[in-house]
Every structure is written in structure tokens, then in C-alpha cells.
Amino acid sequence: MDFRALDPSQVYGLAAAAAAVAVLLFLLRPRPKAVVVPSMFFWDQVVSRRRDPRWREALALVLQVLALAAMAFALGDPAPRDDPGEAASAAGRPVRPADRVAVVDLSPSLDARGADGRTRLDAVRDALLRDVNLLADGERLALVVAADRGRVAVPLTSDVRRLALALRSLRPGLARADVPGALAAASALPGLGERPAEVRLYTDGDAPQPPSLPAGARYVLHPVGEPLDNLAVTALDARASEGLPAQHEALVRVRSFASRPAEATLSIETAREVLGSQRLRLAPGETVERVYRFFPRGDETLEAALRDVAFEGDGGGDALAGDDRAYAFLQPLSPARVLLISRGNLYLEKALALIPGLAVTRVPAGPAAESELAAGGADLAFLDGWAPGRPPRIPSIYFNPPPGSASGFAVLRRVETPVTTDWALDHPLLRHLMLRDLNIALTSVFEPRPGDTRLVGTAGGPIALARDLSGTPVVAFGFDLGDSDLPLRVAFPQLVYNAVTWAREGRAVGGAPGRTWLARDLVPVGGTGAAVARLVPWTGGKDEAAVDGGADGEGGDAEAHRWSRPRPTGDGVARIEAPRLGFLSVGAGEAARPLAVNLFDPEESDLRRVPVREGVDPAAAEGPPLPRPHREEPVAPWLLLSALALGVLLVEYAVGAR
Amino acid sequence: MAGPGKSPPQAVEGVPAGAAGPGAPDVDEWVPAAEFLRKLEYLRVVSRRLHTGRFAALQRSRKLGSGIDFADHRPYTPGDDFKDIDWNLFGRLDRLMIRLAEEETELNLYLLVDRTASMGFGTPSKALYAARVASALAYVALAHLDRVHLFPFGADLLPPLHPPRHKAQVVNVYRHLASTGVGPEGDLAAPLRSFAGVARSRGVAVVVSDFQKPWREGIDLLRFRRFDVALVHVYAPEEDPEVLASTMRRGQEVLIRGAEGGRPLRVRLGDRDLRRYAEVFAAHGEGLSSYARAHNLFYAHARSDHPFEELVLETFRGGRLLG
């Protein structure tokens, strides 16, 4: 008999120690209290048919030892010893290959948990550990992992301890598994093909093309896992919202990869607080998008989390935890500022005062206005009956620019009570406005230039034009507000609001502190691959993250360098895989580049697919069956032993003189 | 036998102090009060049968002779004492008739005291209690010039004592019991059979024992030999079911070992066992009592911590063992 959890010596030692303790306790058991009676005349009649309890004690001791031994054996997780060659021959199958190569898919979906709480990778690990424990004399096993690239973890060896250690250190990655690369690495293993060999691929994805193996080696595909239901956050992004006051606008997309209706609580959080949560119901395959707007509070990060996921029916939980959270950086919002250059215009002042979150600077026409315009600190300037000496460098709106001024808008004539004929209502400035019955006492008619947008026209020419001056949008209205009934209309505040939002377009936000990155994409770290780089948790600009120079990652602490060895790619930029999801930083100091790493990979989140055996080598059908996880065995020996121990303990309780 | 180093206790009116032998009731422990002894002197041993003694005493007997109580007349024959002629009858009938009276003779009191190991049990021990009972009965008998025969027994008879007819001999009775060691355990048949072989005259046979042994055959033998049998059943407080139930912890495993030897029993005592013990104990006493009633025997049972004077003055008198 073999043991999967403990060495046989440990099992036998444990059983012997337990038996020794039981015997010791038996020897040290409290002796009965001696009671002296005058004669046994009465007591012989009282307990005449009772047997001496010593035989019961002896029998109880034997039963205790038996139960303890059974428990010790159960702890060892026994497996019946089977001769692979003999068993295979008896079944008419080929003899088990002497060399076996296990290629393990380490894609994120291997972290999916089944109803029993064990991940797919756990099942693979258990199966391989069992295979390792059953390794016969002369047999060798190799371990190749398919992470961001295929690599040989353990070459062909009979060292059971090394193999077990390597198997226990396996962790699912974040990048898509390079299965073809891993199969290629397996094919190129030294010594493969010298004896009958087998390359087994453990994957929950689609079957790749069978590798070209050396003669004498065969390829076997072992599908892993079973269909699971999963909900995932497939998108999270944040931007500044349109309009005023300035707000953040976040888009969250949640998708159901389940075959049953599901419910979950979607929570939007910053590092400091929960902005809101909402209970979602999703039909199978449904995608739900939610947009959240919120005022800036100085936060730099945003997270979306799915919690309390429940599926209809048994209500089982979410299978993959990695895609239940998403991360994004928030762009800092700049306040809206308007420069009002006028000799006094209550219409404009009141209309601007209606807009929330707007900072208005009133400047009288003159040199001070010139300097304010030159400073360029405002999003928009209203120039009321005045024009600067040179064109402004910020978006500006003229009302009744003086003819012949440096505004650049040439005046053809002055017209009294013009009849407006056309309006460019699709222009952002005139959105939602109706100016058909606009009454104007006196206005200038402009001479349009090529590229100008005619906003309001009359039969004699445009009285409002929009122009782009070297990237700076400028609008001119040919009439004074006081010479028209425009300020008296309900459209006027909307016109002013449109003007501010139109001017802030593209200027509302500063640069984001970091960018969103997909876990399946390797992060460029620069260099040629000779440096060892690492991603560290982002600490809001105070991190001590570094790009370490030095060794190329060979040797040393394998776990520490596992994620830090840059991988040269075709564009000459070295890249590395993110070690985890969340906010990370690569580089140090000023050169630090924060990243919000998300899974956002439907291929990994969709766990409903049943693995298929496409592309299996025909010989695979004749191969040994997949070592199944223990839970799938009809009746596990340890379970039988535990039941035996329980039964023996019950008998012992009945037999013991208690 | 006086033990070495023992100081003699205070003597009380004809009952000098003594000492006990090893394993026997300590004679020092029993110094009866003078008042109690005076009360005993007013009592006498009552036999339910008439016995014929060899010497004149104060007990009625079957012999017709020089007693006081009239019994019968018979014709005069030469040689009869003239003082026995009933002259009043001669005057009426003109015939010489001899007046016959019941002769008062001595009574043989046989004290059969159990000295087996089981009698050494209890606080106070049953042996001590039995010795006091036997001594008190002996005192009553000796005070009335009756003949006392003390037969301690174990598996068989132990050395007997036949004290002279004087009440001061009660001390020797007690000392004899005290000096008699504890004998091996056995049933009552063997010692009582031996007793029947050596007891030449019938009389009152008082068996003082805990009867925790086969007893019926031995008592039957005494009855067959026409002894007036009295049974005094002594038990220790520790044997009382109520006391036992209050001292035993339920569920406790105990090793029951008999004072007289034998195979010990290892049991875990429960309520059921204690109830069964009470039943066996009660059935044992009831068996003795029923037997005594069926055969017109005196029977008394007493716990060894029961006031001894009360047993003698009340129970024995009430049961007509003493009158």
C-alpha cells in the first residue's frame, strides 16, 4: 500500500506512537476503589451474573489500538499499490511509459474554484502528486509549465521530493498561457524519446495542435475542470463628465458567464470610501453597463467589486475571484474658469452666475485685460464690445467687436433690424437653442473667411461666425447684447452654458496618474532584457519601486525573479508579466509608471466551456486514464478507514465498562 | 487475656475489667453501667420448653418433686417423705396421697457466638456487639443460678467455656469471647452439628451471628435436638442498604473484597445494583424472620450501633427470651 499524504514510515510511526500512548494510558488508568465488605454473601447474589470487567478493558484496549491505527492510516491517505505495467497489460493497453512529461496550463482560469472549494489547479496538482507518489523504480517525470511563456520547471527526474516541491509551488498566472511554447519546451527536453515516453497536457482551454514529439513519445491531452458559473467585471474606465460642475464619470461593465440567472452586488469604491453599491440581476450571458457620476474628492484610484454573487438554484458562489474586481485611475479635474472683459454687462454676469462650479474673473477692458488674456489661465473669455491688440490664445467669444480691431473679424456693414435666416443649430454653441424670432436693433455683418462656421446668418451675410485661430476657437457675434432681446430669452443662459462647456472640451482634466493595463499583456519595462525589473504595489507616488539592474534572473531566489525577468519582444522592448491584479508601479522616482492591472479577459472568465479532446493524438485514447482527484473516487480508502475507526470506537464504547 | 501495657478499666459491681486478645472485641470497651446490671438481675431467661436440670435452681422443670407449684397427686408408697403427704386429702378420702410439685431446676443456656471473620466488620464491630449480647444473657442466666455454656464458633466449634454458676463469671464469659480469635469462615451446619454432639442436656440455644452464611441446616439440627433456639441477627451499619447507598458513588468502579476472603468482585456500581443489594439484604432478614415465626423461635435483629441496652431490655423481653 502506498500513501499519498505521508511517507509510509511516518504512517507506521504515527500508528505505533498512537498505540503506545493508548497502552500507556491503559497502564496508567485509575484503579478501582477497594471496598471491604464483611462477606461476599450478599454481593455474590447482587452481581452473580456479572462478568469481570477486566476482559472488557483488555478488549477495549485492543479496539482502541485498532481504531488509532486505522486513523493513522487514513491520515496517510492510502492508495492501493498497483503495478502499472501489470495493470496495463491486463487491460490490454500499452505498458505505462517510463518517462512522462506533465505540461501544466497556468492560465488565470486554473484558479477557478469548484463547488468543493478546490481550484482546477488543485485538481491537477493532486493528480500529479499521486502520479509522483506512484513513480516506480526507473520511471522519470518532468514538469513543464505554461505561463506567460513555456518553461521547464523540473527536467526528467526520479527525484520525488523535487517534483513534489515544484508541484506544490505551482500558482495560476495572470497572462494567457503559452501552451504551444510549453509543448515545444517539453518536446525539446533532453533525454525525451530515449525510452517510451508520454507528454501530457493538463489544460482547461482548447486543445492546441499536437506537438511534434521524438519517436517513441506520445501526446495525451487531459482536460481539466468542469463547467462553472462566473460573473466578471469586464470593463472599468473613468473620465470627466460633460457639463458643469465638473464630475467624474465611471463606466462599469459586468458580464455573466453563467448558464443560470445570477445576482451580485456591484460596489464602486475609492481607496477611502464606498461611493455606492447596487444589486444586479443578470440573465445568462447578459452584459450590464452602469455609469456612475461623482464629485472629485481627491482620490486617485477607483475600484469596482462584485460581492455576494449568487446563482439561481443552489446559489453557488462565483468561480473565479480574479475577475470580480477591476481597477482604474481617476483623472484630476480642473475647475472651470471664465474671463469676462466688459465695461459692465449684467446680462452676462447673471448668466455666468447661474452656472455651478464656475469661477468668473471680471476684468475691465484695457491693459489689465490684455495681460489676463496673455496669461491664458482661463478656459474661456467673453469680450464684450472690446478686442485685444492681438488674437487671444484661449477660446473667446466676442460680442459686437469694434470694427477694424485686431479681432480678425472684418465688418462688411452695419445693419439695422436684420432678419435672421439661418442658424447652425448643430454647432455645440447653439445646441438646444431656438433663435428664430431674435430681434436685433443693430448689428455688424461679418465677412466670412474660408473655414469659418456661419452660426447665424442674414440675407446680407453672417452676423455670428465661429473661427479657428491656430487651434484656438473664437466666436464673434456682431451685435451688442443690449441691442437685442437675446438676453431676455430663456435661450441666453443656455447659450452661455454651451459656450463654457464648448470651450472646456478637452481641457477639463489633467493627465491621469497611471494607465489601465490588461493582465494578459506584458508590461514594457524598457531595456534589452539584460536588467531584472519588477512591479511593486503602487503607493500613490510614494513608492520605492525600482527597476533593478543586475543579473538576468538566472539563479538566486526563483520565486522572487519569477515575475521580474524581462522578456525581450520583437519590438526591442523588454516586457514582464504583472505579478498580480491591482495598482502596481514599474520604475522608480520620477520615472515610476503606475498601472492599474485588470484581468478583463472573457476567454479566461468564461468557465462554461467543457474542455474537449480536439487534436488528441490517436494514441492518447489508448493511454492511461486521467488520475482523478481523490474526491472523484467511488470510495476513498481513507474514508473507509475513517469509517472503520469510527465503527471500532463505537464498539469500544459499548464494550468498555463505561 | 490482658494485653501487654493495658491499664485495667474501672470495675463495675462484679464485672471487673479485662482485656481482649488480638482481633477480638476489646473487653475494655464494654463496661456496663451498674444500673443496667441491676435491671438485668430482675430478668430471667425464659424457655419455651420445659427442661430438666440436674441441680436445683429457679427454673420450672419437668421434674415433679420439691417445688412449690402444685402439679399432681399420687398414692403413697412406703419410703415417701411424710411431709409430702396431703393430709387434707387423707381427711376427706381416707387415703394417703402424696402431693407432687414441679421441681425448679437449673436452665442450660447455650450461647453460640459467631466468631467468623465477617463478624469483625463494622463500627462498632458485630463481634463486639455479639460479645456484649452474649455477656448480658450470660449475666441474666448466672444471676438466676442457671447453667451457662459458651460456644464460640467459626468454621467449627472453638474452645467452649462453662463458667460456674455465679454472676461474677460474666467477666470470664466476655474475656473468653475477647480472647477467642477470629475463626475461618464456614456455614453454620458444621459447628452446630459439633455442638449438638457435645451438648448433653437440652436448653436454650441462643445463636448470635450475622448469618451471612448457609444457616438453615444448622438451625434445623438444633430444633431436631429439641433445643429452644433463639436467633440474634447482628449486622453492621455499613451493611445497611441506606447507609451503603449514601456512601457509594454511582458509576464508580469498585473492587469488592470480602473480609473473610474469597474472590473479589470488580464492578461498576449503579442504582440498579444498590437496589438489588437492598432487596437481597431485606430478603435475608425476612428469611430468618419467617423461619423463626414458622418454627416458634425467638428472632431479633440489631444493627451493631443500635443501643445495646435497648436490645436486651426491650427486644429480648418483648420477644420473651427474657422475662
Q: Which residues contact A225 (CB under 8 A, 6 or more apart)?
A: A109, A112, A114, A120, A123, A204, A607, A611
What is d(CA A20, CA A26) in angstroms, rounded to the nearest whole number?
10
pLDDT above 70: residue A40: yes
The overall average pLDDT reported for chain B is 80
Residues of B in contact with A657 (CB under 8 A): 253, 268
Q: How many CB pairs under 8 A join A and B?
A: 94
Contact A32 B253 (CB under 8 A): yes
A526-585 pLDDT tens trace: 644 445 566 777 766 544 434 444 334 343 333 333 445 566 666 666 677 777 888 887
Q: Which three cell numbers stand for residue B94?
A: 381416707
Identify the band that residue B1 occupies on the pLDDT scale cut at 50, 70 and 90.
very low
Residues of A in contact with B280 (CB under 8 A): 42, 45-46
Cβ atoms within 10 Å of B91's Cβ, excluding its own: 8
Q: Which helix (H) or strand (E) holds A518?
A: strand A515-518
A351-366 pLDDT tens trace: 999 998 899 999 998 8
pLDDT above 60: residue A174: yes
| Residues B201/B108, Cβ–Cβ less than 8 Å | yes
Contact B266 A32 (CB under 8 A): yes
Q: Locate cell 472503520: which residue? A: A644
The overall average pLDDT reported for chain A is 82
| Residues B312/B133, Cβ–Cβ less than 8 Å | yes
Whether A84-227+609-635 shares its CATH topology with A336-504 is answered yes
Contact B262 A47 (CB under 8 A): no
Residues of A in contact with B248 (CB under 8 A): 35
Indicate the SS3 state at residue B147: strand
**Top mean-pLDDT range of A73-77, A119-123, A433-437, B44-48:** A119-123
When the candidates are 3.40.50.1010, 3.40.50.10490, 3.40.50.300, 3.40.50.410, the CATH number that belongs to A84-227+609-635 is: 3.40.50.410
Task: For residue A42, give the nearest of B185, B255, B280 by CB distance.
Answer: B280
What value does the mean pLDDT take over residues B107-126?
88
What is d(CA A188, CA B141) in angstroms, rounded to the nearest whole number?
123
Distances (CA, A) of A169 to A106, A133, A282: 12, 17, 37
What value does the mean pLDDT take over residues A487-502?
92
Q: Considering only CB atoms, which residues of chain A are within 8 Å of chain B?
A: 31-47, 50, 52-54, 657
Residues of B in contact with A60 (CB under 8 A): none
- The nearest alpha carbon in chain A to B121 belongs to A38
What value does the mean pLDDT take over residues A616-642?
55
- The nearest alpha carbon in chain B to A29 belongs to B253
pLDDT above 50: residue A626: no
What value does the mean pLDDT take over residues A388-411?
89
**Burial of A449 (C-beta count, 10 Å sphere; 0-12/13-18/19+):** exposed
In this predicted structure, what is the pLDDT of residue B38? 86
Least confident range from A36-45, A158-167, A348-357, A469-478: namely A36-45
3-state SS, A330-377, equals CCCECCEEEEEECCCCHHHHHHHHCCCCEEEEEECCCHHHHHHHHHCC
| Residues B92/B159, Cβ–Cβ less than 8 Å | no
Least confident range from A65-74, A261-270, B67-76, B144-153: namely B67-76
- The nearest alpha carbon in chain A to B253 belongs to A32
What is d(CA A4, CA B100) in angstroms, rounded to the nearest whole number?
114
Identify the band that residue A177 occupies on the pLDDT scale cut at 50, 70 and 90.
confident
Residues of A in contact with B266 (CB under 8 A): 32, 52-54
Structure ipTM: 0.74
| Residues B259/A34, Cβ–Cβ less than 8 Å | no
Task: For residue B185, give the nearest of A39, A45, A53 by CB distance.
Answer: A39
| Residues B12/B193, Cβ–Cβ less than 8 Å | no
Amino acid at B208: V
The structural domains of chain B, with segments of one domain joined by +, span 27-49+107-233+302-318, 59-104
Residues of B in contact with A38 (CB under 8 A): 117-122, 126, 210, 212, 236, 239, 258-260
The structural domains of chain A, with segments of one domain joined by +, span 2-77+645-655, 84-227+609-635, 231-329, 336-504, 515-603
Answer yes or no: CATH 2.60.40.10 is held by domain A231-329.
yes
In this predicted structure, what is the pLDDT of residue A547? 42
A188-230 pLDDT tens trace: 888 888 888 888 889 888 878 888 888 878 888 888 888 888 9
Task: For residue A39, give the nearest of B255, B259, B277 by CB distance.
Answer: B259
| Residues B187/B214, Cβ–Cβ less than 8 Å | yes
**Burial of A105 (C-beta count, 10 Å sphere; 0-12/13-18/19+):** buried
Contact B213 A35 (CB under 8 A): no
Greater confidence (B29 vs A409) lies with A409
What is d(CA A132, CA A145) in angstroms, rounded to the nearest whole number?
16
What is d(CA A604, CA A204) in angstroms, rounded to the nearest whole number?
10
In this predicted structure, what is the pLDDT of residue A404? 81
What is d(CA A418, CA A362) in angstroms, rounded to the nearest whole number?
31
Q: Considering only CB atoms, which residues of chain B are within 8 Å of chain A?
A: 117-122, 126, 185, 210, 212-213, 236, 238-239, 248, 252-260, 262-263, 265-268, 273, 276-277, 280-281, 284
Identify the band that residue A48 occupies on the pLDDT scale cut at 50, 70 and 90.
low
Contact A53 B266 (CB under 8 A): yes
Residues of B in contact with A42 (CB under 8 A): 212, 239, 277, 280-281, 284
Answer yes or no: CATH 3.40.50.2300 is held by domain A336-504.
no
| CATH annotation of B27-49+107-233+302-318 | 3.40.50.410
**Top mean-pLDDT range of A89-93, A183-187, B120-124:** A183-187
What is d(CA B75, CA A375) in angstroms, rounded to the nearest whole number?
179
Contact B239 A39 (CB under 8 A): no
Residues in chain B: 323
Of the candidates A455, A449, A446, the residue with the CA atom closest to the CA atom of residue A414 = A446
Contact B265 A38 (CB under 8 A): no
Identify the band that residue A88 occupies on the pLDDT scale cut at 50, 70 and 90.
very low
Task: For residue A36, give the nearest of B257, B268, B280 by CB distance.
Answer: B257
